[in-house]
Structure 1
C-alpha cells in the first residue's frame, strides 16, 4: 500500500495534488502545455506513474483540475483586491492590474487552442471559471456608470472590450524588468478607453 502523506487520505490527496500542480506549473513555464506528459509531471512530483494515473487518468483531466484549482484561488484573490478599494475607478485599476499580472504569470494555451485540445465538456468546465471574473468586471463598470465615474455606455459593450484588452499576451510578453511599466501603461489605456481618469493617488508609473 502506498505511503500516506499528511496523516489521512484526504490530506494525502490534497498534498499529492499540490505536488502535481506545482510540477505542472513549473513545466508550463519551461516548455508549454503541448510538450508536457503525465509521466514527466509524475517524475518531477516524485510520484509513481500508477499513483499519478489514480489521480489523473490523462493529461486532459490533469489540466482541467489544475485550471479549476488555480481559478478558485485567483477569483478569491481578485475579489479581495477589488473589495479593498472603495471607488469604482480604483476597483477597475485593481481588476486590470491583477488580470494583466495573471496573464504574465500563467502559461496555459490561449482559449482557441485550449478549446481544440479539450473535449467540449471539459472545455466548458474550464471556461465556466471565467464567469465570476466577468461578473466582477460588469459590476465595477455598472457601478462606475451609475455613479458618474465612467461616461454612460452599455456595459454589454464595455465589458467584452475591456476583457479583450486585458487578454492580449503581447502586452505582458516583455522582459521581466519591463513588466511593471507595461502593466502600468495598459492600465492607463483601459482607464482612457472607458473615459475615466486615474485617481490622484493612483500609482500608475
Structure 2
C-alpha cells in the first residue's frame, strides 16, 4: 500500500492542507478525508494512472517509526515469491537428475507429473505434490514394481530449493545490477556510435593513446 500526499481544500479554505491518501487497487482514497477537508463527510479519490501505478509515491516521506518504507517491504516480499518459484523449478530439475541415476521409472513418473503440473507455480506445486498418495506401479518392460511417494519427492524438492537459496546469500545482487546497468549503457553507446559512423574513429583514437 503506497501513501501519497495531496493538497485538498473544501469550500475555498484559506489554508489548503495535506491529505494523506492510501493506494488500494485502482483508486486512491483518503482515510482521513473529513479531517483534511474540514467540512462535511467527504472523501478524496484520485484515479490511478501510469505514474502512480509504477512510481514510488512515498520516496521522500517515511511514516514508520522504524524507518522502513512499506513499499520497499511489499516489493521485497513480491520479489521473494518470484525467486521462490524459480528456485522450485530449479530444485525439481536437480531432483530429476538424481532420480535418473537411481530409479529411471520414478524419474519418468515425476517428469510426467511436472509436465501436467508446472513447477514454476512454486509453493502451489509443492502443496499439490504433498497431497498425492503414495502408490505402487509396475514397469511393463521388466515387470518390476516401483514404490512412488509424491510426498517424499516434495520433501526432496523443498530441501533442494532451500540449499539453492542458501547459495544465493553469497551473491552480491546490488553489484551485479550496477554492472548490468553499465553494460547496457555501454552497448547503447556502441550501437549509437555504429549508427553515426563515428565508432571506428573513436576506436582508432583509443588504440593510439599510450
TM-score between the two structures when normalised by the length of structure 1: 0.29
TM-score using structure 2 length: 0.28
Normalized per residue, which structure has more helix?
1
Q: Which has the higher strand share?
A: 2
Larger Rg: 2
